[in-house]
Structure 1
């Protein structure tokens, strides 16, 4: 993997694409399996189960694509400000595939700047990935007087965050290893820094709190 010191935009895009492909592999593979089963199955009940599998996998794939479009991509369909209902629906789409996770949403602002939305989505993804045994994902954000503050709190019986991922979030170049898993964290740390902000975190075995501040 390239070091963070000499990483260019093309290499970062490549790592982000690798992360997207990794996350889409499971639901798309399930769709392929469902189609193969459906082609050979004659029992009506089993065919119904196959269709249910296909429906669930198609929904999961669509949810992930919509999420990554705004979290990683240029999201050209949006203006400088994004209605907060959009990131909420995108995160709810990912949470829907994790029945042991409950999401709480505390965002009083009606609109958020697009850079802030990217940071919020990626921090929510980090928190969600950390809830390996389920729990609560609490998301809060508010934009006021040109500053946006974001907080993501993941709590559960076991919350995990990779050391290199934590280092990437905090811009700790010496202790991070760039990979498809850490590239999104590296990207949003750069976004926050470009907007005069920072990302901070506090991790414990049953809790992960990540905060970000941006001038927007």
Structure 2
């Protein structure tokens, strides 16, 4: 697996982002149409729909701006903005976020924030029925790691995501969903590590990137 991104991967990531935005942006349009022609007195409901959908679209854009863009290349000492963006991504779902670490551990490398955001997105996809995402950053002594655990009924990675993690995958065979998992593993490689995936318990999925000392 190369650490440089193929043009096709960039195209697929753009497709995935647009797919995630179609629903909430379409709902904004529907709400505005109801407001413009309030024949059945549904103005309050239409305003609520428009407002919620606009917030959801904004949350998605802000999250993936860091996850996919240059803005996430560096992480500061305060991880609160990353935690808030992750919480915003999950807000419209049945999943909750448990992210206790808000102070970046000493020596956390550039790219770690982007890595965590992509791990959160991948783990979020692994909870089709909702659940909990737990984010752990740091460790003891010289051992540091990024760990995201998805806990919930039927927690699992979809076949397309698993395909994207395969070392031998042909980029031409990737789907938009597979491109995300592929990109996530590339980020781990850039950090001098790899993305470990295991199931520590029933209805649990754990993603881990051990950071080089």
Using structure 2 for the length normalisation, give the TM-score.
0.85
1:101 aligns with 2:91: no
- Give the Å deviation of 1:10: 2.1
Could you tell me which residue of structure 1 aligns to residue 116 of structure 2? 120
1:84 aligns with 2:79: yes
- Give the Å deviation of 1:94: 1.1
Mapped partners of 1:155, 1:48: distance in 2: 36
- Give the Å deviation of 1:43: 4.7
Mapped partners of 2:188, 2:67: distance in 1: 14
- Give the Å deviation of 1:96: 1.0
Mapped partners of 1:79, 1:178: distance in 2: 24
Could you tell me which residue of structure 1 aligns to residue 178 of structure 2? 182
- Give the Å deviation of 1:148: 4.4
Q: 1:22-41 maps to which residues of 2 (within 5 A)?
A: 22-41=19-38
Could you tell me which residue of structure 2 aligns to residue 17 of structure 1? 14
- Give the Å deviation of 1:49: 0.7
Where structure 1 has 5 or more consecutive residues not aligned to the other structure, the ranges are none
Could you tell me which residue of structure 1 aligns to residue 193 of structure 2? 197
Could you tell me which residue of structure 2 aligns to residue 152 of structure 1? 148
RMSD: 2.7
1:138 aligns with 2:123: no
- Give the Å deviation of 1:160: 2.7
More strand by share: 1
Could you tell me which residue of structure 2 aligns to residue 209 of structure 1? 206
Where structure 2 has 5 or more consecutive residues not aligned to the other structure, the ranges are none
| Secondary structure class of the residue paired with 1:81 | coil
| Secondary structure class of the residue paired with 2:155 | coil
Q: 1:126 to 1:16 in 2, by over 3 A?
A: same
Aligned partners of 2:15 and 2:176 also within 8 Å: yes
| Secondary structure class of the residue paired with 1:198 | coil
Mapped partners of 2:36, 2:192: distance in 1: 56
Q: 1:25 to 1:211 in 2, by over 3 A?
A: same
Q: 1:148 to 1:116 in 2, by over 3 A?
A: farther
